[in-house]
Amino acid sequence: MLGESYIYRDRTLYCESVALDDIVSRLGTPCYVYSAGSILGRFNAYHSAFDATPHMICYAVKANSNLEILRLLAEAGSGFDIVSGGELYRVMKAGGSPSKVVFSGVGKTAEEIAYAIDNDIHCFNCESASELVLIDSIAARHRNRVRVAFRVNPDIEAKTHPYISTGLREHKFGIDFEEAEAVYQRALSFSHVVPESLSCHIGSQLLDTGPILEALDKMLDLVDRLRAGGVPIKTLDLGGGLGVAYQDGDVAPPIPDFIREMCRRAATRNLEVHIEPGRSIVGASGVLLTRVLYRKRTGEKEFVVVDAAMNDLLRPALYKAHHSIVPLREAPERGAIVADVVGPVCETGDFLARDRSIANLLPGDLLAICTTGAYGFVLASNYNSRLRPPEVLVDGAGWRIIRARETYGDLIQEEI
């Protein structure tokens, strides 16, 4: 599944107006490429669908935290959803405003909370009563009052991969729906937190918006009950989670329809609506370019060995995720094969595709692994002492390196 910015012209794959093999001839492989047009198009689709509803779009930094991507979104007016002090540092380095930052995560440390309070972030999405106690005590030391939301777990099955489903009672995230009112009442008794927001996030890669809308309805009821109990809720944060199409047959929910339906349901409550999309903004913008090193056969199986591996793109190994793989130069006359596409890492789990019907590739051929703009580079590691790949941002007919390829020196830099 090629993202909206990718198209073949004269049998050559382009990102916007740039032929991808031009990037390879300058930078080599493996290499991540992102389309600025795709990212901004999706951000603006969210933004314009909210229309007159007061809102804040907090891009989930963990999906792709490259400074230039953050800068692009900050300039477009985005806020940010962070899950660590490091992500706050990145947002500020990229010119993002802490006043548009919400801090999520089940294990915030005292240092991270202090750092976020020092920088006056918009809100903490608090995940437990003991975190609330810590936030209140740190805020008191800083002579500050900070906004908090509780992340409430609506106990709704998100219908996605179990590792990225987060909204059931058995998951580690958030506080129980039934306990929410008591926890908010407790928060009212603290003097350095202002509980004026409510948040939830039920999971990721949701192709069916039914469960999010069901969660929304539960949250709206809870808003009513909290307000009736004297908690002045002003904001509802519905998290992220909208999916993208990774393979034929996946139909991604259209962003405008989803947001308009959300706004329609929330309309009478006089709420500011926040969302935290990650994947649906950057996922389809990216490809990972790789080169075929070898073809080999063992027993009954055909393998295509490429120079990208699980250290560059972990999703297939971690979630058995499907990414379609296409050649940079179409050669239909060569026919197709069924093969595993694997990398050089010494793990059987190091595969990018299994039993995949794919072009009859030859060593030297260049491939694009599609829809890798989200949870791609951010999950890359140096396993097997491999260098993490460079990242490139395409904008119209131009492109630039937004992260250099690592060097052998980088590998040992921190080992004193």
Tell the smallest beta-carbon distance from residue 264 to ligand PLP (Å). Answer: 21
Query: How far is 265 from 157, CA to CA, in rounded Å?
Result: 20
15, 58, 346, 370: the active-site residue = 346
Q: Which helix (H) or strand (E) holds 193?
A: strand 193-199
Is the link from the previous residue into 390 a cis peptide, with omega within 30 of 0?
no
Tokens 């989200």 found at? 374
Tell the smallest beta-carbon distance from residue 204 to ligand PLP (Å). Answer: 3
Tell the smallest beta-carbon distance from residue 209 to ligand PLP (Å). Answer: 12
* CA atoms lying within 13 Å on the CB side of residue 319: 18
| Centroid of chain to Cα 259 | 18
DSSP-assigned states of every residue in 64-83? ---HHHHHHHHHTT-EEEES
Per the annotation, the verdict on 346 as an active-site residue is: yes
Copy the structure tokens of residue 52. 């007159």
Paired strand residues for 329: 12
Query: How far is 58 from 200, CA to CA, in rounded Å?
Result: 13
Max Cα separation, the chain? 73
Q: 169 in the Ramachandran plot: left (φ > 0), alpha (ψ -120 to 50) or beta?
A: alpha
Backbone φ and ψ of 92, nearest 5° = -70, -40
Query: How far is 405 from 258, CA to CA, in rounded Å?
Result: 38
Radius of gyration of the chain (CA): 23
Query: How far is 314 from 389, CA to CA, in rounded Å?
Result: 13
Q: Is the dihedral angle over the CA atoms 276, 280, 283, 285 positive or is it negative?
A: negative
Answer whether 349's CB lies under 8 Å from 316's CB.
no
Q: Is the dihedral angle over the CA atoms 87, 92, 95, 100 positive or is it negative?
A: positive
Tell the smallest beta-carbon distance from residue 290 to ligand PLP (Å). Answer: 24
Contacts to ligand PLP by CB under 6 A: 60, 62-63, 81, 104, 201, 204, 239-241, 276-280, 374
Question: DSSP strand E in 248-377: where?
Answer: 272-275, 286-298, 301-306, 325-327, 336-342, 351-359, 366-370
Query: How far is 206 from 236, CA to CA, in rounded Å?
Result: 20
Closer to ligand PLP by CB, 200 or 366: give it: 200
- The CA-to-CA distance between both ends of the chain, in Å, stands at 44
Catalytic residues: 346
